[in-house]
Amino acid sequence: MSGSLLLLPFLVRLDGRPHADWQQFLGRFHPLIVHVPIGLLVLVPLLEISGVFRPALREAAEFVLALAFISCLGALTLGFLLAYGSGDTGTGVTHHMWGGIALSITVLLCLLARPWWLLGNETRLYPATLAAMLLVLLWTAHQGGSLTHGNNYLTEYMPVSLKRWVALGNLQANTPGADTFYARHINPILDANCVACHGEGKVKGGLRMDSYELLMKGGKDGPVIVSGHPERSLLLERVTLPADHKQFMPAEGRPPLKPEEIAWLKAWVQQGASPTATTLKGIFIQENAKEAPLKPVGDYSGMMSEILQMESGQGAKLLPVSSKPSDGLILNTVDVAASFGDVQLAQFQKFSPYIVEAELGRTAVTNASFDTLSKFSHLRALHLEGTAVTGEGLMKLAPLSQLTYLNLSGTKVTAAAVAPLDSMKSLRHVYLYNTPAQPATAADSITQPIAKTAQ
């Protein structure tokens, strides 16, 4: 009977399809039950050793070992039901399964070798088998842990020096094929959100997404991508279902894909799901925006009294970024936002060589301030969210070569007004949430150019 259990994987193939619910129901007790044999098996060598001083303990060892063997078979059965019932396959699953089988066999060998050892024959065989059993136990438990927690669970927070020492340093996922749209955008989305369940180690639904070929091959229900037809592609159907739908992906309550990620996937499928295309029509991602070398900020410490005077007269503040004057100042208007307008901003112009960030969100500034702002030559971040600016004159900001962040969310800027921002090479983050310029839905952004990454 126990022998036939060990043959189970040969009799019933893991075919990557979910089977009866009762199998999954029982199978899900595997992670719980599996701790019984682990506990018992670790106890065995302890009992044998302490048996040197207390013979009664050594007598107990045999009983514990037998119990462990029975619980091993139980855990093995439940584990198999779990994998078969849920349709899990993959090297991680098979490694763990063969580990469990090997463990059961070594436990059986321990049981067989032990009587000889007690009689004083073959005194080394039992201790050796016991040691081997513990090693198999360790390996199998680790495989199981990787399945539930992911491969890098143990090493994720390992100190870097130790990682390097055990040569894990270069195990970071690298994207193949370098410069194609697939390699730069599609593969990373799938890698971060799907491959944990659809990769080499674990293959849910018979679908792997860790390479272009495997992705195109599809899953248990056939191809998941139909080139040119996002609306007929199962992959897109699954990621755009309502998040509480049983078939929604990523499964098990993981965070949904971001709207722009879905837009990229859709556009990529629409335009042929090519492994070699480098760009897609209508999709603009300013990913290689190059931050210009930082212009050093002059020392403002000589102007402190003037700065303080300005602050007390005005209410807006100039806060140092850090204790180093060369890191610059932040113009902070939060306490006086409602009364801080174009005139007030103009008064700060003389400090502009020191201001690296201007927090003008929800102030009363208007388009008229673009003139003033164009002289803030060291500006790296500009907050204009919730202001009355409409984008007219926005391109006066073009000479700001240090500007990498521009927030226009909640303003009335239009797509036409922000389109020329594409020419500002250092500008990496443009926020257009809740503006007429924001693509209304993820789908629209395929046909309309997204100015930078609209969020």
Which spans of this chain sit near ligand HEC (rule: CB under 6 A)? 18, 193-194, 196-198, 204-207, 218-221, 224, 234-235, 238-239, 247, 249-252, 254, 257
Give the 3-state secondary structure of residue 439. Answer: coil
**Nearer of residues 256 and 386 to ligand HEC, judged by Cβ:** 256
For the CB of residue 199, give the shortest distance to ligand HEC in the complex, in Å: 10
For the CB of residue 385, give the shortest distance to ligand HEC in the complex, in Å: 30
Altogether, the residues listed in the chain come to a count of 455
**Nearer of residues 37 and 201 to ligand HEC, judged by Cβ:** 201
AA letter at 348: F
b/e for 2-15, b at 16 or more Cβ within 10 A? eeebbeebeeeebe
For the CB of residue 158, give the shortest distance to ligand HEC in the complex, in Å: 24
CB-nearest residue to ligand HEC: 219
For the CB of residue 78, give the shortest distance to ligand HEC in the complex, in Å: 18
For the CB of residue 213, give the shortest distance to ligand HEC in the complex, in Å: 16
DSSP state of 316: -
For the CB of residue 218, give the shortest distance to ligand HEC in the complex, in Å: 6
Q: What CA–CA distance (Å, rounded) separates 423 from 432?
A: 17
**Nearer of residues 258 and 429 to ligand HEC, judged by Cβ:** 258
Q: What CA–CA distance (Å, rounded) separates 297 from 281?
A: 40
**Nearer of residues 203 and 280 to ligand HEC, judged by Cβ:** 203
Classify the C-alpha dihedral 224-230-236-241 as positive or negative. Answer: negative
**Nearer of residues 43 and 443 to ligand HEC, judged by Cβ:** 443
CB of 245 within 8 A of CB of 257? no
Place of tokens 């797509």: 415
For the CB of residue 331, give the shortest distance to ligand HEC in the complex, in Å: 41
**Nearer of residues 130 and 186 to ligand HEC, judged by Cβ:** 186
For the CB of residue 264, give the shortest distance to ligand HEC in the complex, in Å: 12
Dig out the tokens for 230 from the structure.
């996002």
**Nearer of residues 258 and 295 to ligand HEC, judged by Cβ:** 258
**Nearer of residues 23 and 363 to ligand HEC, judged by Cβ:** 23
For the CB of residue 151, give the shortest distance to ligand HEC in the complex, in Å: 14
Secondary element (H or E) of residue 150? none
CB of 194 within 8 A of CB of 79? no
Angle between helix 91-119 and helix 55-86 axes, rounded to 10 deg: 160
Q: What CA–CA distance (Å, rounded) separates 331 from 59?
A: 79
For the CB of residue 286, give the shortest distance to ligand HEC in the complex, in Å: 24
DSSP, residue by residue, 19-51: --HHHHHHHTTHHHHTHHHHHHHHHHHHHHHHT
DSSP, residue by residue, 158-202: S-HHHHHHTT-TT-S---TTTTSHIIIIIHHHHHHHTTTTBSSS-
Secondary element (H or E) of residue 87? none
Give the 3-state secondary structure of residue 207. Answer: coil
Residues in contact with 89: Cβ distance below 8 Å, sequence separation at least 6, in sequence order? 14, 15, 16, 83, 203, 206
Q: How many CA atoms lie within 13 A of 259 on its CB side?
A: 14
**Nearer of residues 92 and 361 to ligand HEC, judged by Cβ:** 92
CB of 85 within 8 A of CB of 19? yes
For the CB of residue 254, give the shortest distance to ligand HEC in the complex, in Å: 5
**Nearer of residues 235 and 358 to ligand HEC, judged by Cβ:** 235
**Nearer of residues 204 and 452 to ligand HEC, judged by Cβ:** 204
